[in-house]
Structure 1
Amino acid sequence: MPLLVEDYTWTQTDSMVYINVPLKGAKAGNVDILATDEYLKVHFPPFLFEAFLFEPVNDDRSSAKIGNGVAALALPKITHKLWEQLMIPNNNKEKKKAIRERALLKHQEKVAVESKAKAAKRQEEKKYALRKMMQLEQEERDTIQKMKDDEREKVTAEMEAWKQKQRQKAEEELKLKSQRTSQEKFKPVKKLALICMFPCVGQRCSDEASKKKAPVDLPAPRSAGNIQVTFTPRVFPTALRESRVPEEEEWLKKQAEARRAVNADLEELKDLKEEEKNPDWLKEKGDKCFATGNYMAAVNAYNLAIKLNRKMPALFSNRAACHLKLRNLHKAIEDSSQALDLLRPPVAANACARARAHVRRGTALCELQLYVEGLHDYQAALTIDPQNEALQADAQRIRQIIQNDRCSDVV
């Protein structure tokens, strides 16, 4: 008979349920996890953890990570609200039996469907690989044939050009030879007759020929120079469709409202000093405590400031940093998400604050081994600050971890 695990822990938000089950020295390969919308089982012989959930969850989006001796399960709620408890009452045995049977039947059907899908996917991948190989071979054959055809055409063209050049050369030599023969035959007689009949004409022709042969005086080239070109500066305003003035004005309006939204009428705050009722003073105090490593004191300062003013995103973001140091990972995720909700609309004035909130939430998710979700936050931070080399290195490390996990799952 299996030993039931009783020392599990669980936390929740409006939309998620997180359960941590200690594996008591069991190896990751020996852990069997079964999850449906209303039933959860973690079996690692001789131990067994069963949970008949208080309300249904989305089992298609549920995830489980095994590491550091703990099985961490994240279950998205179908109805966004806080549960009174994790499981249904223990006295309803018939209902538990029916839920267990339905879960096993659903799991068997899901395994059968996944097996068929994997087989079909493998067959399709084989077909695709075969088609791709045949396509590559055909492209290689076509490339080789094209190279042969191009080389043949090139050689043929060069041969034809050489033949044409030889024919033209022979024709020119023949023509030149015939011209020389005719000139040698008729030139002396004509020149002699011309001089005898018109002596002045011959003299004039020789004078004109000498003039033509005389060198012509050309002007010297102009000296080089540089032309300075200046452009009129662009002083007209940016087009209205590219302007972010409305978002900037909305952000400034929200900041002004946040400064005015101070709740100093709470009963527990009446005994405080005047400066202790100022959320800005409390924020500076929390920042100093965080810098000295006193994280609990910083959390207390931020808690009191948030009671006074819940519209300052810096309070939630800084408290998330404290929770990260204290390993309160789920609280760090909640505070970072709250800070991002308050940092809207996204404008240049709050870009750095949004990047910090994304990094803190992504770090908490990665600490919970939810690397894919954490990578999304790091990519959002890189979108805001793409030149940050530290963020680029962290994102690359997370991608490597995800790739290694996928390779281990395939093996």
Structure 2
Amino acid sequence: MPVRVSEFSWQQTPAAVFLSLPLRGVCVRDADVFCGESYLKVNFPPFLFEVFLYAPIDDGNSKAKIGNDMILFTLYKKDPVMWETLSMPGVDKETMQRIREKSILQAQEKAKEATEAKATAKREDQRYALGVMMKIEEEERKKIEDMKENERKKATRELEDWKESQRQAEKQKSIPRKEKCQRGKQAEERGAPKPPSLPRKAPSAARLPQRGRNWENIFSEKLKEDSVPAPRSAGNIQISFTPRAFPTALRESQVAEEEEWLRKQAEARRALSTDLPEFSDLKEEEKNPDWLKEKGNKLFATENYLAAVDAYNLAIRLNSKIPLLYLNRAACHLKLRNLHKAIEDSSKACKIMKLHLRSTHPTQLYKTMRRRFGI
């Protein structure tokens, strides 16, 4: 039950009412103040204060100041008259409920109107901003069009000037020709003798046909044709590549490691055929630990954890020196909530990796771990 506050003090003028409400520990964050035309409410758990005002007030301009364990209200009256009391006298429960509902509806309507006004103002601002942007873009477009037009006019003017200069040059060249023709015509009319024509030069020895040299050239070309070998006959070349068990290219620095890995794989297969006769009905790829590891990874990705555990179990029985198999099986046990088995597999993987790190040279550590363990 809320504790109703009855201790307060108030003063008034013909235009406003000043109300002081003491509340211990009140703060802006926790206090809920509601003010309507005829209803004032303050909810600060566990305290509750409400009053049904004597006359309507201007709730839009009224103010509340919270601080120092006190709430100070400044309520502006709609009608400049003096009130006899702060609260409305003789108010029953039905009237109180009606006033509450009316005040809440009025507050909701005002909030709705304020939201609509804010949205309208925002739309107007957006429309204004859009108009300004369109105006700026139009000015920029017009500026660019003017620049293009000026450049076009400039280029046209320069072209016309160049054509005019060409015409002037042609005129200057044609004037001497016309004068020369006129002078020749005048000389013919006067009966002047024509200038003697130059005698033709005798053909030089260099231009005479040289039959002996031509025959020598033909003979040398014939010899060259005879010395050219015949075209090579078509055929097929057979190329055979050395088979490899690794997808990477052969490197001399890794030949020893690859041979060691192949030898261990052969020993594992021989051990499988002698020590594990119950696996004789498996396919060839199912006897490969790497294939089983990939199969377990796919089953783990599809959340089939029990089948993935079976695949890792078979791979570990084939080769118990791969720590990644124990780690993957530990992940499956962790998904199945088998915590003890997950811890056991993780410990085995850690032990195998420590032994391998001690026996491997640091320079070959990264290559060996990537090639053998798939990490």
The verdict on a shared fold, with TM-score over 0.5 as the criterion, is no
Normalized per residue, which structure has more helix?
1
Larger Rg: 2
